Amino acid sequence: MVCAKGSRPDCLPPMLEWGPELGPVAGTIDALLWGKVCLRAGHTLGNITYFGDTTRLCGRYTRQPLHNAVTEVFKDVTVEYSRGLPQITVPLPSRRERCRFTLKPITNTVGDFIKMLKTEDKGIDRVIAISMDDTRIAASTTVEYLLEEDFKLIVNDNTYIVNPPKPLRISGEEVKCLSDIKTLVSNLYEALNVQEHNVQKEKDLNIKIETLREELMPLEEQKMHLDMIAQRKSDWMSWIGLGLMSVQFGILARLTWCEYSWDIMEPVTYFVTYGTAMAGYAYFVITKQEYVLKDVKDRQHLLAIYKTAKKKGLDLQKYNQLREQIVRLEYDLKRLRGPLQMHTPKKTNPATTTDDAKKVI
């Protein structure tokens, strides 16, 4: 709409009246053309006074922001709770549509809510939250505290009265009652399902043990054959050691009583004894084990097994892994049948975990 300057604007709508009065600006006009100047929300053309259904224009028109304008109060902001989270619905001034914002009562603050509004509508210049007694609410205030009482939300030049519903508060007695119900449900679940779970777990462990034993059986047969060969070799070396000691004893006895006297052979026997001690210490240095006859025999037994297995092509590493898995599963089965668990029918097993552990080489 374009009207001539310096005359009564007959082209104005009936609600607009030309007059000489000057006064403070009240309210806003969405769009008004006067000459070549367009008046929009947040600016004035001359001095505008809002009187309900009559607006008076007077003086020279100027363009200035409405910082001190008295705004109209609306009630278009609603607050609802969905799944325990507050949802605030605010009309956006530029897009002329309502937008719903979901906030977190404890972590979100008033400043976060203001940032959400400005991000959603770029035409929002000012957002302020004030209490009903016109006290500004700080941006660091949490949403939970904000929604405890009614407040005013100012968006640009529009003021909205927000009446949030009262959130449901759980008393201490109700919390204790819920805790008792939770404990009761847990006990019922344990009584109805734990025994079944233990039986199923025992069944799964037995299936795994049987599968591993079937896989271990051919390796076990080969290993038993190697044990027999290694046992013969270790026994043979033990008899050889005894024979050498007997020969040494016989030679020293003949030299002492038949060939020479004890005065001559005494230093010889001393050095023979000292040499034997040196041989034992050398064994410790090389093997990092004490020279104990049983340990020496077991070491020779293992060396014979690994040497023969390498010739026969037996994978002792795989054998040891299978044996360790069986021992671990049988230990879990023993714990499952222990007094701290729900008792299941105990089955006799000829092979104990101790015997299986001894078979691991």
Task: Specify the range with the lowest mean pLDDT, choosing from 4-13, 59-68, 240-249, 350-359.
Answer: 59-68
Which residue is associated with the tokens 């007059």?
Answer: 19
For residue range 197-235, list pLDDT tens digits in order.
778 888 899 999 999 999 888 888 888 888 888 888 888
Task: Specify the range with the lowest mean pLDDT, choosing from 125-129, 162-166, 303-307, 339-343.
Answer: 339-343
| CB distance 99 to 92 below 8 Å | yes
**Rg of the Cα atoms in the chain:** 50
Task: Specify the range with the lowest mean pLDDT, choosing from 3-17, 100-114, 177-191.
Answer: 3-17
Give dist(CA 304, CA 295) in Å, integer: 14
pLDDT category at 71 given cuts 50, 70, 90 is very low
Buried b (16+ CB within 10 A) or exposed e, 159-179: bbebebeeeeeeeeeeeeeee
Q: Backbone dihedral region of 167: left (phi > 0), alpha (psi from -120 to 50 degrees) or beta? A: beta
CA distances from 292 to 23, 276, 289, 295, 361 (A): 116, 14, 8, 5, 20
Q: CB-based burial of residue 356 (10 Å sphere; 0-12 exposed, 13-18 middle, 19+ buried)?
A: middle
Q: How many CB atoms lie within 10 A of CB 329?
A: 19
For residue range 318-342, list pLDDT tens digits in order.
888 999 999 999 998 888 877 665 5
More confident residue, 167 or 297: 297
Closest CA to 276 of 252, 254, 256: 252
pLDDT at residue number 169? 65
* Ordered structural domains, the chain, with CATH: 1-70 (no CATH), 73-162 (3.10.20), 173-359 (no CATH)
Residue 208's φ and ψ, nearest 5 degrees, are -65, -40
pTM of model > 0.85: no
Percentage with pLDDT > 70 across the chain: 70
- What residues have CB less than 8 Å from 165, skipping those under 6 apart? 79, 80, 81
What does pLDDT average to over the chain?
Answer: 75
Residue 206's φ and ψ, nearest 5 degrees, are -65, -40
Instruction: Fill in the amino acid letter for 347.
Output: K
pLDDT at residue number 171? 63
